A and B are shown apart, each in its own frame.
Chain A
C-alpha cells in the first residue's frame, strides 16, 4: 500500500483523507432505533465495517424521536472502531446546546459533522412540539468553521481546545427553486462546508443538470461533493417517494424499472450500482453516500458490486 503524506488536513478524519487523496469516497448511513438499545446499530456497523469510509447517523430523522446521533456515533467509535459522520439538525437545539454537544462529540473522537435544517416537526411523532431553528444550517456550518479555524464560539469567546471537524452539508438538487440550489450550496461552502452529501438521487438527469451549475460556479473545486444514493427495495416505495415526499424527484424510468422487475430488490441493487458508476463519470463528484433507509444490510452488497472495495486505509 502506497503511503500518502497528508498536509494541512482540517480534521484528519478518514473521510477527509479519502477525499483529499482523490479516491472515490463511499459512506453509509444508519438510522438509530426508536428505543434504548444499540442492537440495530451494532448489527449494521458489523455489516458495514471495512466497506464504508464513514457512517452517517441521522439526527431524529423525519422528526421522530430516536436514539441520539451523538450517542450512536460514540458507540461506533468505541465498540466498532469505525468512523461516524454525526448529523446535526437545527430543529431541536439552540446554538448553546449544539456547540456543547459538539465539544463533547469531538472530545470523544467524532471528526465528521453533517449540518442540516432537519425535517419539520409536523412529519414526526411530536408535531405539537416547539421547534428551535435558533440558527439555520448555513449559520451552523459557519459556527463550526469559526470554532475550528478561529477557536471561538458563536458569541466570539475563546474556545481553548477547539474541535477540528470536517464540516459537511447537504444540498437537495431536486428541491425548488432549482436555480437557487447551486447558489445555496455556494453559500454553504462560503460559510465553511468542506464536503457535501446530496439528497438521494432518483432522477439522474436532474442531478447532472445540477452538477452543471455546480461546475459553472466552480463549487466542485472548493468542496468535495458526494452523491446521495438510495437503494429502493419496492416499486410501491418508489411511487410513494415520487408523489408523497416533498422535495423529491423520482424519474418515471426509475419507478418503471422496479415495477417491471421480476425481483425488485435485485433490480434496486442493479440501479444503485449503475448510478454509482454514472456518478463516477460526472466531473466534480468525489464520492457517493449510500442511504439505504430501512435496508441498511444491503449497503455492503451494493458497494461490492460497484467495485468500490477494498476501501482505502491510512
Chain B
C-alpha cells in the first residue's frame, strides 16, 4: 500500500488560514489502512480545525466527506457538490489522490498528509518500505527481497562495506538489505544467484512521467 502520515495540525491551519469554509476529503484506500486519511482521521482533523479556529475567534465551517478512492475519477465525482460549496479542500489521500482531486476541483486543494513510501504493515502501528516502483522487478534474482528498496544505497550487486552484524551502516535499527537477501538465498539453496552481475539499470525515466496504457482495455471501452 501507499503509506502516508498526517501533517502536523499547525501546517494544515496555516494552509487554510484565509478560508471560512473548507472540505476535509478522505479516502477509503491505502490511507484508511495506514490510519492517516480515512473517515476516522477526517473526523479528527475536522474537529481539530474547528476547535483551533473557534479558539482563535476565527470560526470556520468544515465539511467532511470520504470516498472509496481519490485516485479514481469515478469516485472523485462524488465530491462535486461539496467542492463547489467550499473555498478550499484539505485532502487526506496520498499525493496521487490529492493531485487528482486538485485537477477536478474549482477551489484550491491542500495536502493534509505527507506521502511516505510503498510499504507493508509490519505490526500494529508499524509500516516499512518494500517497493521502489522502479518498473523492472528484480525480485527473482534476490530471493524476493528488493535491493533497491531495502538497501540504503539501492546497490544491485551485493552489500557495501558498511554491512555488519546484519545491520546497515546508516543505523543499527536498519537491517542490511543484502544480509537479508543473502540469508534468504542461502535458506533457498540459491546462493549461486549472487554471482550474477546485474547490469546497470534502466531507471525508465526516458519518457518523462510514467504512464501505462493497455490498449486492450481502452479498446473495450470505445
- Chain A residues with CB under 8 Å of chain B are 90-91, 95, 117-120, 122-123, 131, 133-139, 142-143, 154, 170-172, 174-177, 179-180, 183-184, 186-187, 190-191, 199, 246-248
Q: Are B158 and A138 in contact (CB under 8 A)?
A: yes
Tell me the residues in window 193-215 of chain B with beta carbons closer than 8 Å to chain A beta carbons. Answer: 194-195, 197-200, 203
- Which of B156, B166, B178, B179 contacts A139 (CB under 8 A)? B156
Interface centre among A118, A123, A136, A137 (most CB of B within 10 A): A136
Residues of chain B lying within 8 A (CB to CB) of residue A143: 200
Give A69 to B156 CA distance when docked, in angstroms: 25
Contacting residues, chain B, for A175 (C-beta < 8 A): 159-164
Contact residues of B between 142 and 159, Cβ < 8 Å to A: 152-159
Enumerate chain A residues within 8 angstroms of B178, measured Cβ to Cβ: 177, 180
Q: Which residue numbers of B lie inside 8 Å of A, CB to CB?
A: 152-171, 176, 178-179, 182-183, 194-195, 197-200, 203
- Of the A-B pairs whose beta carbons lie under 8 Å apart in the complex, a sample of 9, sorted by A's number, is A95-B200, A117-B161, A120-B162, A137-B160, A142-B197, A177-B183, A183-B158, A246-B164, A247-B160
A120 touches B153 (CB 8 A): yes
For the complex, what is the distance from the CA of A247 to the CA of B197, rounded to whole Å? 23
**Which of B152, B194, B200 sits near A135, CB closer than 8 Å?**
B200
Look across to chain B and name the residue whose beta carbon is closest to the beta carbon of A127.
B170
A90 to B152, CA, bound (A): 13
Report whether A117 and B155 are in contact in the complex, using a CB–CB cutoff of 8 Å: yes
Distance in Å from the Cβ of B169 to the closest Cβ of chain A? 4
Number of A-B contacts (CB under 8 A): 107
CB-nearest residue of chain A relative to B159?
A175
Beyond the given A120-B152, A134-B200, A136-B155, could you list 16 further A-B residue pairs with CB under 8 A, ordered by the A residue number?
A120-B169, A133-B153, A137-B155, A137-B157, A138-B197, A139-B157, A139-B198, A172-B161, A176-B159, A176-B163, A176-B176, A179-B182, A180-B158, A180-B159, A180-B194, A247-B164
**Residue in B167, B171, B200 whose Cβ sees the most chain A Cβ within 10 Å:** B200
* Cα–Cα, bound, A172→B168 (Å): 14
CB distance from B154 to the nearest CB of A (A): 5
CA of A246 to CA of B169, assembled, Å: 5
Measured between C-beta atoms, what is the minimum distance from B157 to chain A in Å? 4
Whether B152 lies near A136 (C-beta < 8 A) is no
B199 touches A199 (CB 8 A): no
A187–B195 CB distance below 8 A: yes
Chain A residues with Cβ under 8 A from B167's Cβ?
Answer: 246
A247 and B163 form a contact (CB under 8 A)? yes
Chain B residues with Cβ below 8 Å from A199 are 161
A171 to B162, CA, bound (A): 11
Residue of A nearest to B183 (CB): A177
Contact B153 A176, beta carbon cutoff 8 Å:
no
Q: A175-B161, A183-B194 are in contact. Are A247 and B153 (CB under 8 A)?
A: no
- Chain A residues closer than 8 Å to B176, beta-carbon distance: 176
Bound Cα distance from A183 to B186, whole angstroms? 14
A184: chain B residues at CB < 8 Å are 157-159
Q: Which residues of B contact A174 (CB under 8 A)?
A: 161, 164
B166 — which chain A residues lie within 8 A by C-beta? 176
Q: A183: shortest Cβ distance to chain B, in Å?
A: 6
- Counting from the closest, the 4 A-B pairs by CB-CB distance are A172-B161, A246-B169, A138-B157, A117-B160
A177 / chain B contacts, CB cutoff of 8 Å: 159, 163, 178-179, 182-183
CA distance A247 to B199 in the complex (A): 25
Q: How far is the CA of A147 from the CA of B16 in the complex (A)?
A: 56
Whether A136 touches B153, Cβ cut-off 8 Å, given contacts A154-B200, A180-B182, A186-B195, is yes
Bound complex: CA of A172 vs CA of B176, how far in Å?
15
Among B154, B155, B157, B170, find the residue whose CB has the most chain A CB atoms closer than 10 A. B157
Q: Complex: how many Å from CA A154 to CA B200? A: 8
- Bound Cα distance A90, B156 (Å): 12
Q: Which residue of A lies closest to B185 (CB)?
A: A180
Contacts of A176 in B (CB 8 A): 159, 163-166, 176, 179
Closest to B196 in A: A187
Asked if B197 and A190 make an inter-chain contact with CB atoms under 8 angstroms apart, the answer reads yes
A143-B200, A246-B162 are known contacts. Are A119 and B157 too (CB-CB below 8 A)?
no
Contact of B155 among A122, A133, A186, A247 (CB under 8 A): A133
Which residues of the other chain, B, contact A183 by a CB distance below 8 angstroms?
Answer: 158, 194-195
Closest chain-B Cβ to A140's Cβ sits at a distance in Å of 9
Q: How far is the CA of A118 from the CA of B157 in the complex (A)?
A: 14
Closest chain-A Cβ to B40's Cβ sits at a distance in Å of 32
Chain B residues within 8 Å of A172, by CB: 160-161
Return the chain B residue nearest A122 by Cβ. B170
Alpha-carbon distance between A117 and B182 when the two chains are bound, in angstroms = 19
Within the complex, the shortest CB–CB distance from B32 to chain A, in Å, comes to: 30
Q: Which residue of B lies closest to A179 (CB)?
A: B182
Instruction: Report B-chain residues with C-beta under 8 Å of the C-beta of A134.
Output: 200, 203
B182 contacts across to A, CB distance below 8 A: 177, 179-180
